Amino acid sequence: MQHLEKPWGYEKIWAKTNHYVGKILFIKKGHRLSYQYHQKKEETLLVLEGLLEIEFEKNRERQKIKLKPGETFHNPPLQKHRFTALEDSRLIEVSTPHLDDVIRLEDDYDRVG
């Protein structure tokens, strides 16, 4: 299992094939990922623990929803999105294998790209 430290927590890649990738993400309370989108990558999330706020753009308007354990969110390519942990949160992400397909629009940690 590949463990990657992130400024917002960590991710563990538990499955990686030519067709899909499985990750466990841990996001520390009060931290959030970049507001970003993917050109090809498609992903679905399942919240295991915590409370997660998802900000996404639909019909050119930003919307927010909250997910608790057992709830899911599907993110298609080109949809702008961001995940914020309202509590320490652990989730599963299953996606297409395009791991470098990240276009960051806003980032609390001054990462580019």
- As a whole number of angstroms, the distance between CA 28 and CA 8 comes to 6
DSSP label of 30: T
Note the pLDDT of residue 97: 97
> pTM for the whole thing?
0.93
Q: 2.60.120.10, 3.40.50.1260, 1.10.287.70, 3.30.420.40: which CATH number matches 2-63+70-106?
A: 2.60.120.10
Note the pLDDT of residue 89: 98
Q: Would you list the domain boundaries of the chain?
A: 2-63+70-106
Note the pLDDT of residue 112: 75
The DSSP result for 2-18, as a single string, is EEEEETTEEEEEEEE-S
Strand 35-37 versus strand 103-106 pairing type: antiparallel
- As a whole number of angstroms, the distance between CA 43 and CA 101 comes to 12
- As a whole number of angstroms, the distance between CA 86 and CA 98 comes to 27
pLDDT below 70 — which residues of the chain? 113
Note the pLDDT of residue 113: 62
